[in-house]
Structures are given as structure tokens and as C-alpha cells.
Amino acid sequence: MVWSAPFQLLASRATPCMLLLSAVCAGHEFSAPSQANDFVLNSPQPVEVSSRLLAILEPPIAIPDPEPQLVLNRTKRQIRSTGDPIWDLRLEIPGQPSRHFDAVSGRAHRQNADRDQMGSKAPLPTGSYTLGPVEPLAKGAYPELGPVWIGIEPTFTTGRRVLGIHQDPSAGLNGNSGTLGCIGLIREHDLIELSQLIQVSDVRLLVVED
């Protein structure tokens, strides 16, 4: 192919990078030059783009690292003495085995009530929540909450308010078994262990799946 005089003049003054870019846009292919500024036009075949150039033109989509989270699911188990369904509170920390904690949510006889209605005593509504700080409670100050309170805030619209994770000291014992809607861990040592893991791993997310 013979270039016109104006293009030859431009090529003589262009830098190698400019000349290569012009040829690529025109759909031509170059053979490897013996000198850095000598280019030989071969044919109108498509240019084979190197993997390095593709990485620049189409950078890979960054996939965020998985974050630790809590996941709450209803199980088929029950507390025999009170009929409270047992919920599974699962702690997922990337790179570690999942940890499971038995819990209750809502009252036994209100499991099918409106979970978005304030005062319904139903389990937590499904959805995502953000975790607040771990707050130790004075012994005996809140008999139905246990030693620790972890506030949770729904990320969706709901009528439920003042929700959290705590212990249910009455689980399986009397008419106070269950919660007004919070997550109540059945065993105190589970709550203490969970609180420590949340602080160490900086857990900020709770997902209620059922």
C-alpha cells in the first residue's frame, strides 16, 4: 500500500507511539520493527491485541472480599417445655468455620403474627440489619436481657423499633420465655462468646433469612 504524500510527511514527524495508534485505528497490522521508530505495514488484517493492552483497556472487575456477618434462620427444633421455636444464629467469618448459637425470637404463640407491626411480639422481620456496639449491662439492671446488649438497626422500612441481640434468661422456664422481637440467645456463655467474636472480627451485618 502506498501512502499519500501528506501522510508520509506526517509519519516522518510522528513519534512511534502516534504512528502505531494511527495504524491500529485504520485496522492495519505491523511486524516487529528492527529499530524502535521503524514500522513496516504488512496487511489490513485485524491487529492482535496483547494481554497487557487488554488489561489496560478492560481492567478486571474488582470483587470485594467477603465480610463477616450474622445470619438468622428458623429451625424445626423447639424448646419442649414452652414450645418456643429455636432459631439458629450463625456467625460467618471468612476463612473460619461457621459458628452456631441457639436463640429465640418473638413469643411462642406469636410466631405467625405481623413481623413488621410494632408491639406484635412476632419474630424479627426478614431483611438486613446493621449492628451497633457491644454494650455490657450492669448485673441485675435488666433481668430479661442478660449481661450484654447489641443493638441492631433495620436497613428497610418496618414498624419495629428498639431491636437487639441479648440473652433470654427465661428461655424454656416460664411465661417470659421468648422475646418481644429481639434475638435472645438461650445460653449466657454463648452471648459472651458471640460478643467477643463480633468485636474482634468487626461484624457489622445481620441477615434474617426466615
Dist. CA 88–CA 85, nearest whole Å:
10
The domain tally of the chain equals 1
Give the tens place of pLDDT for each residue, 19-41: 444 444 445 444 444 444 444 44
For residue 149, list its beta bridge partners. Answer: 135
Mean pLDDT for the chain overall: 83
| Model pLDDT, residue 60 | 72
| CATH assignment of the domain containing 180 | 2.40.440.10
Q: Give the C-alpha separation, 43 to 1, whole Å.
A: 9
Residue bearing the bigger pLDDT, 198 or 10: 198
- For residue 93, with 0-12 CB atoms within 10 Å meaning exposed, 13-18 middle and 19 or more buried, which class applies? middle
Whether 35 maps to a domain, the answer reads no
Residue 75, in any domain of the structure: yes
Average pLDDT of span 143-161: 96
Range of the domain at 152: 69-208
Confidence of residue 17 (pLDDT cuts 50, 70, 90): very low
Cell of 121: 411480639
User: Would you say residue 123 lies in a domain?
Assistant: yes
pLDDT (tens digit, 9 = 90+) per residue, 97-148?
999 999 999 999 999 999 999 999 999 999 999 999 999 999 888 999 999 9
Answer yes or no: is 31 within a domain: no
How far is CA 98 from its chain centroid? 15
